Amino acid sequence: MIKKMALTGAIMATLIALTACTSDNNNSNAAESDPSATVQFENFPTYGFDLSNTRHVPFKGITAENINEVGVVWTVDLKTLDKDVKNGNQSYPVVVDGVIYITTSGNQVFAFEGATGKQIWHFKPGADMAKDFDKAGIVANRGVSVGEGKVFMLTIDNQIVALDQKTGEMVNSVKIADSIEGVTVENGYYETTVPIYYKGNLYIGSSGGDNGVRGFVSAYKASDLTPAWDAPFWTVPPKGQDWLANSKFHGGGAVWNPVAIDEDTDIMYFAVGNPAPDFYGKDRPGANPYTDSVVAVDSATGKLIWSAQEISHDLWDYDAAASPMILNATVNGKAQKVVVEGGKSGQWWAWDAATGDVVWDGIPFAKIDHPEPTPEGVLVYPGVLGGENYAPETYDPATNYVLIPGIEYPSIMKSAENEDFEKGFNGAWAFGTALGETPADIIPYGTVTAIDVNTGKQVYQNKTKDMMRGGLTSTDTGLAFYGELDGKINAMDIKSGKVLWTFQSAGDNIQAAPAFFIADGKQYLTFTSGGTKPKIHVFAIGGDKTQGSAGDADNGSVHEAK
């Protein structure tokens, strides 16, 4: 359970909540207070900080020398602002001109003045919009994109929503199914990912691979939410064709997390999930491209440039789940632009960004032992959580290190005996592939692994008490920040791997990486926490150093609607 926060922080949160609740859900205080009018800002403008997804900020205000002076500036329990906010928050904050934009599970959106915590606006889907949310069986959302004066979000039931950036009022919404036939919750599709804005377009992926959907990436015009490509890029063939010729099911291949875009070349890169059915491959023969792959396409047209598969004919649910990063790195002593990604397989790859040629091939960062699943069940390392799940890596150009958030937790995987093992609803789980109970004496934990991009070798690996579900963000002062499932936030020296600072927040289940921003020359750290009391936290030098009590490090499902 989450304990009460320290008195000072509690009073501050209460005052903020009281102030915020005086405004209507979809109304704005922006007319009363425009923070951009008098203050200079440096932003965290998109999911990965930059479109390359490096999550490395060039800010130098928080250092190893002053990290112990960092404390809480403000924090808010989101359920005090709206009792209908769902559990299991996984939102990655975006900060533009001093305003923090976050989502909640259940597709609410909040805009806060970053330095003070004042609520600027709050969007809550109406009953008509939200009527199908519960059908998805999952309620998580990972954040927004900001562009052209609008805030964009994908809803759990496959809608694209555009909100006015200043007021939070609805500008437009469309159903993805209006342009891509069959993209409905009834067919196993849902959306938890962050749309990415670039050059007038929004780029989206597709969730639901384990439900046996047909995965895709697509582009929409930010101006009116109409399709920007002639057709989606489909990650698997149509049902009944090619390697699905003898299958009753669609092939999976979801694109769970945001794309990366090279602004120099307009090439877009994305990671593709596992084929379906998960642990049974008899009726999907061959390599099953483009599943478990990183794919490069022309962002203007969606046309294929190259693809690289991590796991051929996957039988273990080894998605390439986390977003790729584009790095201008040193490799074998020479400058080279590469694309890197760590898979749920517990391996890490690097490819030449232009050609897709392998640079580093499947460097292990987790225990790997995966026999073929059987109907009786086998113990498999990594388990279905990875490896590296959706949690993003970060890249530090000073050391040339990539830091990988890892999970060490095996699974008992059970295959079906044949294609007749249907359960009565859509998807691969309906087909009969299933998980057994992991032995109780196996205790899950996490890792942070540093890999030198120059050599492809592991520099160090730190063990964390709980699985790494949130990911990392680094700064120009040689620090990397990450949260843990019990609500702790940590700062680590990137070069040595030594943890320099740990702060117990008044939340639990940190399942998203922090963001940084600067307001009037002062650097701030912000992140969300989930659990049963979803919160947003903002830290800075000079903040309240009173720490909270350890939260509940729930390793179970974070997607239940409560």
In order of 255, 275, 278, 289, the CA distances from 208 in angstroms are 9, 11, 12, 17
* pLDDT for position 378: 98
pLDDT score, position 533: 86
Question: What is d(CA 543, CA 545) in angstroms, rounded to the nearest whole number?
Answer: 6
- Flag whether 383 is in a domain: yes
Which is more confidently placed, 552 or 239?
Answer: 239
Express as a percent the part of the chain with pLDDT over 70. 90
* pLDDT over 80 (residue 11): no
pLDDT of residue 248: 82
Write the pLDDT tens digit of every residue in 223-236: 999 999 999 999 99
Which carries the bigger pLDDT value, residue 8 or residue 510? 510
389: in domain: yes
pLDDT over 70 (residue 262): yes
What average pLDDT does this structure show over 81-88?
94
pLDDT of residue 418: 81
Contact 83, 106 (CB under 8 A): no
In a domain, 553, yes or no: no
Q: Is the pLDDT of residue 326 over 80?
A: yes
Q: What is the pLDDT of residues 437-454, one digit of tens each?
A: 999 999 999 999 999 999
Structural domain boundaries, residue 363:
2-418+441-547
Q: How many Cα neighbours within 13 Å face the side chain of 89? A: 31
pLDDT reported for residue 501: 98
538 occurs within a structural domain: yes
pLDDT of residue 34: 56
- The Cα–Cα gap between 144 and 465 comes to 30
- Quick one: average pLDDT of 40-60? 97
Give the pLDDT confidence score for residue 38 in this predicted structure: 67
Q: Does pLDDT of 554 surpass 90?
A: no
Q: What pLDDT is stored for residue 475 in this prediction?
A: 98
Residue by residue, what is the 3-state secondary structure of 166-231?
Answer: CCCCEEEEEEHHHCCCCCCHHHCCECCCCCEEECCEEEECEECHHHCCECEEEEEECCCCCECCCC
Stretch 82-104: mean pLDDT: 96
pLDDT of residue 74: 98
Residue whose tokens read 């875009």: 261
Across 249-265, average pLDDT: 96
What is the percentage of the chain residues whose pLDDT exceeds 90? Answer: 83
- Tell me, yes or no, whether 236 lies in a domain: yes
pLDDT of 268 over the 70 cut? yes
The answer to whether residues 523 and 516 touch, using CB atoms and an 8 Å cutoff, is yes
Q: Which of 107, 295, 299 is nearest to 196 (CA)?
A: 299
Q: What is the number of domains present in the chain? A: 1
CB 353 within 8 A of CB 382: no
So what's the pLDDT on residue 425? 55
As a whole number of angstroms, the distance between CA 225 and CA 182 comes to: 18
The pLDDT assigned to 432 comes to 81
- Smallest Cα–Cα separation from 217: which of 181, 175, 187, 253? 253
Burial of 11 (0-12, 13-18, 19+ CB in 10 A): exposed
Residue 18, pLDDT score: 31
Could you tell me the CA-to-CA distances from 200 to 218, 224, 428, 457, 463 in Å, in that order?
A: 14, 10, 36, 39, 42
Q: Which of 142, 159, 149 is nearest to 194 (CA)?
A: 142
Residue 280 lies in a domain: yes
Residue 560 lies in a domain: no
Residue 556 lies in a domain: no
Q: What is the pLDDT of residues 372-426, one digit of tens each?
A: 999 999 999 999 999 999 999 999 999 999 999 999 999 999 999 887 776 655 5
Give the whole-angstrom CA distance, residue 519 versus residue 538: 12
| Overall average pLDDT of the 352-371 stretch | 98
199 CB neighbour count, 10 Å cutoff: 12
Identify the bridge partners of residue 110 per DSSP, sorted by sequence position: 102, 122
Nearest to 493 by CA among 505, 481, 483: 481
pLDDT at 555 > cutoff 60: no
pLDDT, position 24: 34
Query: The domain spanning residue 174 has which CATH number?
Result: 2.140.10.10
What backbone phi and psi angles, to 5 degrees, belong to 186? -60, -30
Report which of 140, 353, 172, 386 is spatially closest to residue 266, judged by C-alpha positions: 353
Extended strands (E) in 263-393: 267-271, 293-298, 304-309, 325-331, 334-342, 347-352, 358-364, 378-380
The whole-number average pLDDT for the span 333-359 is 98
Give the SS3 label for residue 458.
strand
Residue 420: per-residue pLDDT: 76
**Cα distance between residue 491 and residue 560, in whole Å:** 30
pLDDT tens track for 17-47: 333 333 333 333 333 445 455 679 999 999 9
What pLDDT is recorded for position 13? Answer: 38
Averaged pLDDT for residues 344-371: 98
pLDDT at 15 over 70: no
- Mean pLDDT, rounded, for 114-136: 94
